[in-house]
Amino acid sequence: MNHVIAIGKVSEATGVKVPTIRYYEQIGLLPAPPRTEGNRRTYDRKDADRLTFIRHSRELGFEIDQIRTLLSLQDRPDQSCSEADTIAKARLAEVKDKIASLKALEAELERMVEGCSHGRVETCQVIEILADHGKCKHHLHDA
Amino acid sequence: MNHVIAIGKVSEATGVKVPTIRYYEQIGLLPAPPRTEGNRRTYDRKDADRLTFIRHSRELGFEIDQIRTLLSLQDRPDQSCSEADTIAKARLAEVKDKIASLKALEAELERMVEGCSHGRVETCQVIEILADHGKCKHHLHDA
DNA sequence: CCTACATCCTCAAGTCACTAGAGGAGCAAG
DNA sequence: CTTGCTCCTCTAGTGACTTGAGGATGTAGG
């Protein structure tokens, strides 16, 4: 209720950097807060909660547009949560994919590093493997 | 030696898209090839190899600047490969980190999705967990 | 009251690694 | 000769911010 928190304090409390908070306001993800006489933004607890929600969602890899949807769902608690469920499931699938391809990548990098004879480039597996894709067993889709 | 391959063919052969090849030339990652009378780029086997090297490195998640270093190492085979080794090791560490944080993320998403009662938003774990970071056991660094 | 200094403001431009589109020229086949 | 493909340059857009310039405001100490 009492808009009293300065942008720097919200930043500290939520872990979202000051310019990022202003950016979120600009793109309409966070409502423009009231200002002091000296034109400074004043936030309250609700704003901080929203920013925490946003930060956590970003950490989980959701895109801004997905977060927009999730936020709008949060604002209307009577609605079905199937949309939130769908978004989370899609993200989960993405994450599983990414873990799989990162593991392939890890294996290949390990092979590279282990194969490095610490000699000259001529005989270095690192360079060798990068140069010759045929030496790579896996098909990596994206890393 | 015989510069004879058109950009579309190199693209096909290496899996690097045509505009991306031109982009790599622009940023100096790939040397500007000779042109035909009709101003078309003509590539040879060496260029294709270099592009394969670049693509594979990108798939492994190396940044353009790192690839620049790796390429310059490849060009001077007498040098020590310790720099390549260092770059690969750093990338390996990054990948391991990322896998760890993605696994935490996977667990959290799974918890969210399983906790969804398919009812209204009010009781939905998905929204709940996003809103309250305290409910999240893990510290995720980046996803 | 004055002076440092931290914090805040706006606006524009930069980052990374591409991708997309406009508008036009070259080239091979039917 | 025309259809349709590939190619050319150039500019601008993408996502999610970050950085910097240039200035105003707020606060603590002397």
Residues B108-125, mean pLDDT to the nearest whole number: 74
Any atom of strand C under 7 A from CB of A8? yes
* Among candidates A60, A118, A119 on the partner chain, residue whose Cβ is nearest the Cβ of B109: A60
B26 lies in a domain?
Answer: yes
The predicted structure's pLDDT at residue B90? 87
Examine the domain organization and report whether B16 and B60 are in the same domain: yes
What does the block give as tokens for B91?
A: 């990338």
Hey, are the CB atoms on B59 and A140 less than 8 Å from each other? yes
Examine the domain organization and report whether A99 and A134 are in the same domain: yes
Amino acid at A4: V
* Among candidates A52, A59, A109 on the partner chain, residue whose Cβ is nearest the Cβ of B95: A109
B140 lies in a domain?
Answer: no
* Residue A126 near residue A116, CB atoms below 8 Å: yes
Phi, psi of B136 (to 5 degrees): -95, 120
Examine the domain organization and report whether A26 and A75 are in the same domain: yes
The predicted structure's pLDDT at residue B100? 87
Amino acid at B10: V
A49-91 pLDDT, tens digit per residue, is 999 999 988 987 889 999 998 888 887 766 777 888 888 888 8
Any atom of strand C under 7 A from CB of B34? no
**What DSSP designation does B61 have?**
T
Q: How far apart are CA B14 and CA B114, in angstroms?
A: 43
Examine the domain organization and report whether A16 and A71 are in the same domain: yes
Spell out the residues 6+ positions from residue B68 whose beta carbon is closer than 8 angstroms to its own: B29
Closest-approach nucleotide to residue A42, Cα vs C1'? C8
Examine the domain organization and report whether B65 and B98 are in the same domain: no
pLDDT at A46 over 60: yes
> What percent of chain B lies above the pLDDT cut of 70?
84
Spell out which residues of chain B touch residue A140, defining contact as CB-CB under 8 Å. Answer: 59-60
Examine the domain organization and report whether B16 and B47 are in the same domain: yes
pLDDT at B137 over 60: no
* C1' of nucleotide C7: residue with nearest CA: A8
Spell out the residues 6+ positions from residue A76 whose beta carbon is closer than 8 angstroms to its own: B121
E-strand spans in chain A? none
B86 lies in a domain?
Answer: yes
Q: How far apart are CA B19 and CA A30, in angstroms?
A: 37
Hey, are the CB atoms on A85 and B133 less than 8 Å from each other? no
The candidate with the shortest Cα–Cα distance to B104, out of A50, A43, A92, A129, is: A92
Examine the domain organization and report whether B91 and B40 are in the same domain: no
The predicted structure's pLDDT at residue A35? 96
Cα A119 to the center of its chain, rounded Å: 39
Spell out which residues of chain B touch residue A76, defining contact as CB-CB under 8 Å. Answer: 121
Examine the domain organization and report whether A71 and A88 are in the same domain: no
Spell out which residues of chain B touch residue A92, defining contact as CB-CB under 8 Å. Answer: 106, 109-110, 113
Going by pLDDT thresholds of 50, 70 and 90, the confidence category of residue B48 is very high
pLDDT at B43 over 90: yes
Examine the domain organization and report whether A74 and A94 are in the same domain: no
**Domain count for chain A:** 2
Going by pLDDT thresholds of 50, 70 and 90, the confidence category of residue B40 is very high
Q: How far apart are CA B68 and CA B72, in angstroms?
A: 6
Examine the domain organization and report whether B90 and B67 are in the same domain: no
Examine the domain organization and report whether B116 and B94 are in the same domain: yes
Q: List the domain range (segments joined by +) for residue A63.
A: 1-79
